[in-house]
Amino acid sequence: MSSSMNRREFLRHCGRCAVVCAGIHSFSWFEMAAGGHAQQLTQGFLGRKLSPYFTPLDDHMIRCELCPRHCEVAGGERGYCRVRENVNGQYYSIVYGNPCAVNVDPIEKKPFFHVLPGTRSFSIATAGCNLACKFCQNWEISQARPDDTYNYDLPAQQVVANALQYQCRSIASTYVEPTIFMEYMLDIGRIAKQQGLLKVMHSNGFVNPLPLKDLSEYLDAACIDLKGFTEEYYEELTGGTLQPVLTSLKNLKSWGVHIEIVTLIVPGKNDDMQQIRSMARWIHDELGPDVPLHFSRFYPLYKLKSLSPTPVAVLEEAWKCARAAGLNFVYIGNVPGHEAEHTYCPACKTRIIARNGYKIELLAIENGHCKECRHPIPGIWKLPDPHA
């Protein structure tokens, strides 16, 4: 943030940023507005919806059942995530239909490497989060209240219509923890399924099983942040706990949702190779050898600006540990041009997807199989039939 731009101005402009990565243009809703189709940002929350995920308590108190925090909230107060409010003993989402970030991104940016490579994803986020990660790259909106961000009035049906208009093949809930706007995601997912679009999310996995089960009915793919592999790391760096995330991963797998996992390697915090080996073995044993795992490079951000970027050699050692544990698809992220950006067939070792940043330069997968040896490659390689 420049010295000439204050926090409120930054929040207003956070939806305007466009990114050009390896020739693939991520463009913001403001760029889309040039065609006259986008609404203007309005400060503060614009709508609300009653949540099904709470239990009434005495004296108009409620207990939130959405995430493992189980916040007990008095009348007129909000939960930890700042986007759910007790109104006379009823618990409301106050970000329903009110995203503060709307962009068209390459699907690889989520990152999904085994979901419709080279396609666009209509990407949205509201304010708020149920964790407080010290390394958050989107902290200006994740740690904000919807009162303080500038938001769009964008109903679920309009999200799907815009995704179709901009030739997106999926709709992604991303940037902040999307399960905090669960009701919005559910409605978007229902409509997207009818229109033959994928519904995907990038999530921290810190959510209770029942609402996640409801979402799984409409969720095609989930990229889950497995931020570390000890409770101590989660407590120190995120303010959350590990076990609910592991439960979410196992549940999503059992429910047939395609999952990919991202671990940001933070120097001196979660870069112990013994822990990384333990994590990789857990993924192999509990989820299977074909779940894609992304090791992402840390850069100094937010409350960890005193740390150095992750040495590439550390990422490469983590990659070797995961491969040695039997994982077939391991990637290194935030290191453009690295060999570990590519996908190789685990059977014949042929390069079947070549990437340059977010740009796909080779796609040698046919009907979900390696073109060279016909070995099945896990992932989502074509859109579902909405009439099936």
Nearest to 228, CA basis, from 158, 176, 278: 278
**Percentage of residues in the chain with pLDDT exceeding 90?**
86
21-41 pLDDT, tens digit each: 333 345 554 445 434 444 567
For residue 121, pLDDT over 60 is answered with yes
Burial 28-52 (b: 16+ CB within 10 A, else e): bbbbbeeeeebeebeeebbbbeebe
Q: In the chain, what are the domain boundaries?
A: 11-39+97-339, 42-93
Distance CA 221, CA 223 (A): 7
Summarize the confidence of residues 376-382 as an average pLDDT.
97
What is the chain's mean pLDDT, rounded?
Answer: 91
Residue with tokens 């969720």: 219
- pTM for this prediction: 0.91
Distance CA 114, CA 176 (A): 22
User: When comparing pLDDT for 46 and 196, which is higher?
Assistant: 196
pLDDT in the model for residue 40: 67
Pair 123, 223: CB distance under 8 Å: no
What phi, psi does 366 have (nearest 5°)? -130, 120
pLDDT in the model for residue 47: 76
pLDDT in the model for residue 8: 45
Summarize the confidence of residues 256-277 as an average pLDDT.
98
Summarize the confidence of residues 134-153 as an average pLDDT.
95
Q: Which long-range contacts (CB under 8 A, 24 or more apart) does 274-279 make?
A: 275/228, 275/229, 275/230, 276/229, 276/318, 276/321, 276/322, 277/321, 277/324, 277/325, 278/229, 279/226, 279/229
332-355 pLDDT, tens digit each: 999 999 999 999 999 999 999 999
Pair 285, 115: CB distance under 8 Å: no
Q: pLDDT category, 10, cuts 50, 70, 90?
A: very low
pLDDT in the model for residue 383: 86
Q: Which homologous superfamily is 11-39+97-339 in?
A: Aldolase class I (3.20.20.70)
Summarize the confidence of residues 10-19 as an average pLDDT.
40
- For 18-68, give the DSSP string: -EEETTEEEEEHHHHGGGT-PPPPEES----EE-SSEEE-GGG-EEE-SST
pLDDT in the model for residue 34: 38
First to last CA, the chain: 48
Distance CA 75, CA 60 (A): 6
Distance CA 357, CA 207 (A): 31
For residue 254, pLDDT over 90 is answered with yes
62-99 pLDDT, tens digit each: 999 999 999 999 999 999 999 999 999 999 999 999 99
For residue 207, how many C-alpha atoms fall within 13 Å in the half-sphere facing its CB?
Answer: 28
